Structure 1
Amino acid sequence: MKFIGTHDGRFHCDEVLAIAQLKILPQFQSHGIKRTRNLEILASCDVLVDVGGAYDHHRKRYDHHQREFNTRFSENYRIQLSSAGLVYLHYGLDIIKQRYSFLNPTDQEWIHKRLYDRFILAIDGLDNGIDAVDGTPLYHDPSGLPTRVHMLNCHNREKGIDLQNYLFLQGVETAQNEFLTQLAFVAEQLLPSYKELQNHVAEHQKAINNWQILEIPHGVAWEEHIDTVNPSRNIAYVFWQDEKKMWCIQTPRAHPNSFKSRMPFPEPWRGLTNDDLAKVSGVNDAKFCHRSGFFGVTSSRDAALIFMEKSILEQK
């Protein structure tokens, strides 16, 4: 029988997620798991993660603690990989191809990168002790998986190794479920919406001064993609007609991991509705402006266009 080896004692999200990924693939599904610091036992394992003092894909050794280690997902990233990131770097695309074999290679590669950005990157950052924000946000953690895995550890040592190993396996199951959930979200929701948004950015923009406004159909998930399809970040507002036939207007975030708005509506408009908003903004069909200024509603498309244009011109 072949084994995947990792360290014993307190477990962390990175090695738990590393093993969870490996166990998805057919070539590792029958592998057992050994948790130890014994070098002879570790040397006998087919795969090592987060232990062993070496990174060597040819020998299936995926430790990241050695002094000379400096591997990143690509040269565009500042954060070094953890064992979870190392396994994802080498096997993530295999998992994607296994589960989404009907997609073309370009789409599979897109999923590979996007899943790293929105899920694995945070695991790498947290395990390496990197602050999520260093001047600009470096990553965000939408899953909360590191905290959930941490809470599975047995904090009473008197209860023994067997319980800790059992809890470790629970952690692997939790991490695998989260990985597959995140993968499905990226492949089945984000990828189609990204393609749809790409088309609308190319065909449905209007310029106001140096800014753009973008009209989209109701239901297009645009917030996660807007900076990818518009790297110059010059789209001031996205607007659409909702199911109640009202026109919704939203400004993108200044940064994907920030709640700061790119172009909030003018301060005097904020928190106003109906006649009060129409009077202050000068737009007759204006119905609502969020008190933080990131979102507004009008009852007609023409009013939405005027609402956005007035906002841009007042803030130039």
Structure 2
Amino acid sequence: MKLGTHSQTFHADDVYATVFLLHVYNDAEIVRSREEDVLKSCDIVYDVGRGKYDHHSRDKMYRENGIPYAASGLIWRDFGKQIIKNAGIQEADVIETIAREIDEEMVQPLDAIDNGIEIEKSLPILDIASVVRLMNPAWDAEDSEDEAFQKAVSITNVIFSEYLNKKLAGYRAVPIVKRAFETREMSQLLVLPKGCPWEKTLLRLDQKKEVLFVITPRKNGQFTIQSVPPQSGSFAKRKPFPDDWGGLEGKQLESVTGVPGSVFCHTGLWLAVAASLDGAIQLAKLAIDA
């Protein structure tokens, strides 16, 4: 299998498209060229050549939400579900959901940037597209662009693989969160038997917005209490911890709360830690009643 993309300066679009394809054809040869005869020898050509996986023509394809496809999005559209299936997921509805979420969270921003659409940022941030762009050789360097591209693909492959693994791990946690939600003793408090991703599942299940805090065990034997956000990814809180807890730890926090084994409360009032499950429940109940 030969995969063909353009030579010279690379961007996150062609690098991520390469990574996606390597998750399907892991022993493929990567050919970087702008020569038509060279690209004709490739099985799949993307981000160049004006073919199926090039988005540089006037009749480019758009998603229903108006975000145009770039090469990474076109490749993900056609190969994303196979990648997820290769990772061990077999349920068609779960594959469909994960593929859509990855497109929304990772691929659409990449496509937007490559198509010249401004991504709104409240603060400057070195995003994944910027990281890939930095890997191009400096203007006065004599480094090989092809070697730099291979390095970018290797690093990006690690990023995407970890991202995909965490996404799949979230779905493996769904039954754990669902059972804890259905069997909870207090409507405002969710206690999980193990630390796992809970936010998206809980927000989907908790239609009445009853749960205010979630308790999870930590690997060191302590327990974390987190305030539930109103929506996924938000820094807001359905209910914060009391103001006078913020930034306190150890004996200071114990003195204010009256709970032995109180370990820490974040200044942002969204997270607290206790040495035992009983202590965590006591802290959560105090915060609920405050």
TM-score (norm 1): 0.72
CA shift in 2, pair 1:266/1:100, >3 Å = same
Alignment partner, residue 290 of structure 1:
266
Which runs of 5 or more residues in structure 2 are unaligned? none
SS at match of 1:250: strand
Aligned partners of 2:184 and 2:190 also within 8 Å:
yes
Shift of residue 50, structure 1, vs aligned partner: 1.8
Residues in 2 aligned to 1:252 and 1:96: alpha-carbon distance in whole angstroms: 29
Alignment partner, residue 129 of structure 2:
146
Shift of residue 62, structure 1, vs aligned partner: 1.3
Residues in 2 aligned to 1:67 and 1:50: alpha-carbon distance in whole angstroms: 14
Residues in 2 aligned to 1:97 and 1:110: alpha-carbon distance in whole angstroms: 12
Residues in 2 aligned to 1:4 and 1:167: alpha-carbon distance in whole angstroms: 17
Residues in 2 aligned to 1:312 and 1:259: alpha-carbon distance in whole angstroms: 19
CA shift in 2, pair 1:230/1:128, >3 Å = farther
Aligned partners of 2:170 and 2:196 also within 8 Å:
no
Aligned partners of 2:60 and 2:69 also within 8 Å:
no
SS at match of 1:296: strand
Alignment partner, residue 46 of structure 2:
49
The one-letter amino acid of 2:53's match is Y
- Deviations for 1:79-130, whole angstroms, at most 9, x for unmatched residues? 44321121011111112223426x3333433443344445434433443445
Alignment partner, residue 154 of structure 2:
173
Aligned partners of 1:215 and 1:238 also within 8 Å:
yes
The one-letter amino acid of 1:272's match is L
Residues in 1 aligned to 2:166 and 2:220: alpha-carbon distance in whole angstroms: 27
Shift of residue 201, structure 1, vs aligned partner: 2.2
SS at match of 1:220: coil
**Are residues 1:88 and 2:76 paired?**
yes
Alignment partner, residue 58 of structure 1:
none
Alignment partner, residue 105 of structure 1:
92
The one-letter amino acid of 1:94's match is Q
CA shift in 2, pair 1:260/1:80, >3 Å = farther
Instruction: Kindly indicate which of the two structures has a greater share of residues assigned to strand.
Output: 1
CA shift in 2, pair 1:80/1:213, >3 Å = farther
Aligned partners of 1:20 and 1:175 also within 8 Å:
yes
- Deviations for 1:222-256, whole angstroms, at most 9, x for unmatched residues? 24644344466553210135566654311134544
SS at match of 1:5: strand
Summarize the alignment of residues 1-316 of structure 1 with structure 2, pairs less than 5 Å apart. 3-26=2-25, 29-30=27-28, 32-36=30-34, 38=35, 42=39, 45-53=42-50, 61-72=52-63, 75=64, 79-100=67-88, 103-133=90-120, 145-156=128-139, 159=142, 163-187=144-168, 189-204=169-184, 206-207=186-187, 212-223=188-199, 225-230=201-206, 234-242=210-218, 246-273=222-249, 276-277=252-253, 280-281=256-257, 283-285=258-260, 287=262, 288-298=264-274, 304-305=280-281, 307-314=283-290
Aligned partners of 1:218 and 1:243 also within 8 Å:
no
Once superposed, what is the RMSD of the aligned Cα atoms?
3.8
CA shift in 2, pair 1:294/1:88, >3 Å = same
Shift of residue 290, structure 1, vs aligned partner: 2.1
The one-letter amino acid of 2:172's match is P
CA shift in 2, pair 1:130/1:305, >3 Å = farther
The one-letter amino acid of 2:242's match is P
CA shift in 2, pair 1:30/1:307, >3 Å = closer
| Percent of residue pairs identical | 25
Residues in 1 aligned to 2:278 and 2:141: alpha-carbon distance in whole angstroms: 70
CA shift in 2, pair 1:266/1:175, >3 Å = same
The one-letter amino acid of 2:224's match is C
SS at match of 1:109: helix
- Deviations for 1:255-279, whole angstroms, at most 9, x for unmatched residues? 4444444422121222234565456
TM-score (norm 2): 0.77
Which runs of 5 or more residues in structure 1 are unaligned? 55-60
CA shift in 2, pair 1:248/1:29, >3 Å = closer
Aligned partners of 1:6 and 1:34 also within 8 Å:
yes
Residues in 2 aligned to 1:13 and 1:301: alpha-carbon distance in whole angstroms: 45
SS at match of 1:159: coil
SS at match of 2:186: strand
Shift of residue 17, structure 1, vs aligned partner: 1.5
